[in-house]
Amino acid sequence: MGINRRITALVLGIVLTGSVACHFSVSTANLSSLKLGKDKGVTEETTSFATGDTIYAIATVSNAPGKVSLKGGVSVEDVPGQDVGPIPSLQLAKDLDGSGSMTFTFSPPADGWPKGKYKFDVVMLNENGEQKDQKTVSFTVA
């Protein structure tokens, strides 16, 4: 029975060595949170804004082994007189060198935000441009 244990240990050692030599890895990079607020640090999370408020969004990436890209933007959900969908001037892309947080800042238009329902979407892409995660937060302007 001693020889069987030695053979099993040897086989397991070869398999583990092969796995390490092939640089096998599984990335669990993800968007761990997405928060909206009225100040740059989003000290108080909210989904209700006034027409003159600057809107800050903080997206947090966790477990990223390398560079990721975050694409975030504001879309109209239900605003009288506005088409539903992304607002082209409020779509931003930023790179992050690994795990960490990224702040998106959206200043109100000169006449203020039109009242209604909006959403902020953020998509995380890996170095190859493949989408790895996405989060959305809906908010209102009253």
Which domain CATH number covers 135? 2.60.40.3880
How many other C-beta atoms are found inside a 10 Å radius of the C-beta of residue 29?
18
Residue 126 in domain:
yes
- Assess contact for 24 and 35: CB atoms under 8 A: no
pLDDT digits (tens, 9 = 90+) for 1-36: 566 566 555 455 454 444 444 333 456 889 999 999
pLDDT digits (tens, 9 = 90+) for 55-111: 999 999 999 988 999 999 999 999 999 999 999 999 999 999 999 999 999 999 999
**In which domain, by residue range, is 56 found?**
27-141
Residue 132, both tokens: 């790895």
Residue 135 in domain:
yes
Sheet strands side by side (includes 100-106)? 30-37, 55-62, 100-106
- HSE-CB at 8 with a 13 A cutoff on CA atoms is 5
Residue 16 in domain:
no
pTM of the model: 0.78
How many other C-beta atoms are found inside a 10 Å radius of the C-beta of residue 56?
19
- Assess contact for 120 and 139: CB atoms under 8 A: yes
